[in-house]
Amino acid sequence: MALFITGFDRFPEEIKISAGTVKDISVGLPVRATFSPAYGADAGVPVLKVDNRPLTENIDIDLSDSVTLVANESGSAILALGMFGLPGRSISLDVLPEYTLIPWGMTVGVRVETDGVMVLGTGDITTPSGKIPSPSADILRSGDMITAANGHQIANKSQLIDIITSSTGDLQLRVRRREQYFDVSITPHVNETTNERSIGLWIRDDTKGIGTVTYYNPRTNRFAALGHGIVDIDTKQMMSIRSGKIMETDVISVVKGKKGSPGELIGKVREGRILGHVDLNSPYGIFGSMDFSQKNAISNEKVPISLQSKVYVGPATIRSTVDRNNTKDFDIFIESVNKFSNDDTRGMVIRITDPELIRRTNGIVQGMSGSPILQDGKLVGAVTHVFVQEPTRGYGIFIENMLKNDNRN
């Protein structure tokens, strides 16, 4: 597989290769390159060969002609570029291990608990002396996470409410806003309606919905689902989770998608049938470990993955569950492959072509996010979003972007 670069500024920030494969880099410009082992790499086990030379030390080379990279072992290397005697940019070369995964395609119920209590907004309080603005206004913002109150760690909103109502003075809160932690002091007031102390907050500590499991990795007992992160419906922010679970679900009906209105799968979640436990919510999907007692819910069909460099415009299939718990493959067409997208969850544009799926759903509906995409018998990605104005079309994420973001795979 060749990577053709049309200009110096068109080099990607990273190049990914599967172990055991070959990639040719062709530039056609007088670009000088230095290939280097990653810091701390085992010098005795080179991850790459560069024009048949093991990468055990720096290799300087001219990219005017094609250069062949042979991926040996999983790991990383560095490619430093320069032109006309000036330093250019540094590119990460990642060699991914050879993966075989089970493409699942099962619709599941998803419930996650936040890592702390999420602030949705603030509201006025009616006190015995009249209505006053929320004591939290201008101190807390929508999307803030309250992680501790009066020195006690907060796991759920019941704990926070108990501490507020039993407090006798100002409330000391530990808050995380994006990646920053800080402390605030808020004075509660008695709410005339409840006769309890309040700081005028709307809060949430969990969320639930329906989605599709993309793959199960029998080597690591890890699964991935959704192809995108769980975002709070009110704050529009990625939810930082403490724990979660996926549960067996029967699809009992479908609201068909139409122009301007995305459809959805309606499912009956079997709360007692826990299939796995979620431990990571990321922009590239949710990840977790399978419950060993439920492994009989998964087929034994393992398939190799295909990196984005090998995904092409053409026919493919998605694996989804749109009727009870019957998982099926449906025909699609990959319309475009964007290897340089700024949004990794929109690396592919796909179109539903299967008459049966169009008849059942009119295309892609909510709940199908995470449906694995297969091309030539290989797992290439997952469905992520639907075009709201055209439900037969949507986006997909490359499977390698899901894999690299599960740090336990």
- Percentage of residues in the chain with pLDDT exceeding 70? 91
CATH number for the domain including 138? 2.30.42.10
Q: What are phi and psi of 46, to 5 degrees?
A: -65, 135
Q: In this predicted structure, what is the pLDDT of residue 11?
A: 64
Residue 326 is assigned to a structural domain of this protein: yes
Residue 119 is assigned to a structural domain of this protein: no
Cα 238 from chain centre: 10
Residue 378 shares a structural domain with residue 335? yes
- Percentage of residues in the chain with pLDDT exceeding 90? 56
Q: Which of 6, 93, 88 is nearest to 50 (CA)?
A: 93
386 touches 365 (CB < 8 A): yes
Residue 323 is assigned to a structural domain of this protein: yes
The amino acid that residue 107 corresponds to is: T
The amino acid that residue 7 corresponds to is: G
Residue 307 shares a structural domain with residue 293? no
Q: In this predicted structure, what is the pLDDT of residue 9?
A: 55
- Find the helix or strand (DSSP H, E) in which 266 lies: strand 264-282
Residue 29 is assigned to a structural domain of this protein: yes
Q: In this predicted structure, what is the pLDDT of residue 43?
A: 57
Q: Taking 50 as the threshold, does the pLDDT of residue 198 lie above it?
A: yes
- Whether 60 is catalytic is no
Residue range 301-308: average pLDDT? 88
Q: Taking 80 as the threshold, does the pLDDT of residue 6 lie above it?
A: no
The answer to which of 113-127, 263-277, 292-306 has the lowest mean pLDDT is 292-306
Residue 397 shares a structural domain with residue 309? yes
Strand order in the sheet with 67-71: 2-4, 22-26, 67-71, 48-50, 53-54
Residue range 308-323: average pLDDT? 93
Q: Which of 122, 165, 164 is nearest to 143 (CA)?
A: 122
Residue 188 shares a structural domain with residue 215? no
Residue range 134-150: average pLDDT? 93
- Whether 369 is catalytic is yes
Of 134, 167, 199, which residue constitutes the final position of a domain?
A: 199
Query: 233 or 278, which is more confident?
Result: 278
Residue 273 is assigned to a structural domain of this protein: yes
Q: What is the pLDDT of residues 156-168, one digit of tens each?
A: 999 999 999 999 8
Helix/strand/coil for 296: helix
The answer to which of 22-26, 119-123, 313-317, 388-392 has the lowest mean pLDDT is 22-26
Q: In this predicted structure, what is the pLDDT of residue 254?
A: 95
CA atoms in the 13 A half-sphere facing the CB of 123: 9
pLDDT classification of 127: cutoffs 50, 70, 90:
confident
Q: Taking 50 as the threshold, does the pLDDT of residue 5 lie above it?
A: no
125 touches 198 (CB < 8 A): yes
Q: What is the pLDDT of residues 369-394, one digit of tens each?
A: 999 999 999 999 999 999 999 999 99
Residue 91 shares a structural domain with residue 21? yes
Q: In this predicted structure, what is the pLDDT of residue 3?
A: 47
- Whether 341 is catalytic is no
pLDDT classification of 41: cutoffs 50, 70, 90:
low
Residue 278 shares a structural domain with residue 193? no
Residue range 255-272: average pLDDT? 92
CATH number for the domain including 342? 2.40.10.10
Give bridge partners of residue 22 from the DSSP assignment.
70
Residue 188 is assigned to a structural domain of this protein: yes
Query: 128 or 252, which is more confident?
Result: 252
Q: How many helices (H) and strands (E) does the chain have?
A: 3, 32
Q: Taking 50 as the threshold, does the pLDDT of residue 86 lie above it?
A: yes
Q: Taking 80 as the threshold, does the pLDDT of residue 4 lie above it?
A: no
Q: Taking 70 as the threshold, does the pLDDT of residue 293 lie above it?
A: no
Number of domains within the chain: 4
Q: What is the pLDDT of residues 52-75, one digit of tens each?
A: 888 888 998 887 778 888 887 778
- Residues 406, 384: Cα–Cα separation, whole Å: 17
Q: Which residue among the candidates 205, 369, 385, 406 is catalytic per the annotation?
A: 369
Residue 381 is assigned to a structural domain of this protein: yes
Q: Which residue among the candidates 18, 228, 309, 320 is catalytic per the annotation?
A: 228
Residue range 181-210: average pLDDT? 92
> What is the average pLDDT value for the chain, to the nearest integer?
88
Q: Which residue among the candidates 354, 371, 385, 406 is catalytic per the annotation?
A: 354
Q: In this predicted structure, what is the pLDDT of residue 328?
A: 95
29 touches 109 (CB < 8 A): no
Of 256, 280, 297, which residue constitutes the final position of a domain?
A: 297
- Find the helix or strand (DSSP H, E) in which 350 lies: strand 348-352
- Residues 31, 9: Cα–Cα separation, whole Å: 11
Q: Taking 70 as the threshold, does the pLDDT of residue 10 lie above it?
A: no
- Residues 25, 67: Cα–Cα separation, whole Å: 5
Q: Which of 91, 94, 101, 25 is nearest to 63 (CA)?
A: 25
Range of the domain at 53: 2-98
21 touches 71 (CB < 8 A): yes
